[in-house]
């Protein structure tokens, strides 16, 4: 697991979160809820990571991942995204927009493709 918090940034990891070989990078804020699971090779970025060019500077927006969320292997979550409680993000997905609570989202870009029940009793 690689956790990078730049000066002035904040990373909050909720109780019982499981970070399995993932990367979290915060230039502003990344918040993970209770029992948020982030799979191997997955990445969470709250910024563009650099300026695109002189006319388009780097942008940063907080990322919020809710309680009992599972982000599977090799997924990428980009700046400004909120993932609601009990949602599941599929392997190798690119999350560019919000995922509502109890949603199954996957693809490039990730889109809601199903419903997920209560994950609070999962192991």
The CATH number of whichever domain residue 54 belongs to comes to 2.160.10.10
pLDDT band at residue 59 under the 50/70/90 scheme:
very high
For residue 123, being part of any structural domain is answered with no
Q: Which residues constitute the domain of residue 16? A: 2-115
Domain count, the chain: 1
pTM value? 0.94
> Which residues pair with residue 99 across a beta bridge?
83
> Of all residues in the chain, what percent are helix, strand and coil, respectively (each to 5)?
0, 40, 60
Q: Rounded to an integer, what distance in angstroms lies between the CA atom of residue 27 and that of residue 13? A: 16
- pLDDT tens digits along 15-31: 999 999 999 999 999 99
- The set of residues, in sequence order, having a beta carbon less than 8 Å from that of 18 and lying 6+ positions away, is 35, 36, 37, 38
2 tagged catalytic: no
Catalytic residue (choose from 50, 68, 86, 102): 50
């Amino acid at each position: 697991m690689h956790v990078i918090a730049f000066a002035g940034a904040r990373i909050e990891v909720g109780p019982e979160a499981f970070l399995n070989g993932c990367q979290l990078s915060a230039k502003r804020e990344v918040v993970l809820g209770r029992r948020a699971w982030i799979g191997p090779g997955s990445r969470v970025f709250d910024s563009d990571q650099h300026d695109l060019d002189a006319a388009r500077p780097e942008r940063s927006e907080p990322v919020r991942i809710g309680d009992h969320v599972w982000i599977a292997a090799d997924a990428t979550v980009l700046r400004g995204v909120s993932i609601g409680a009990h949602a599941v993000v599929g392997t190798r997905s690119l999350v560019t927009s919000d995922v509502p609570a109890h949603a199954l989202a996957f693809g490039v870009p990730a889109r809601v493709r199903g419903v997920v029940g209560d994950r609070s009793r999962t192991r």
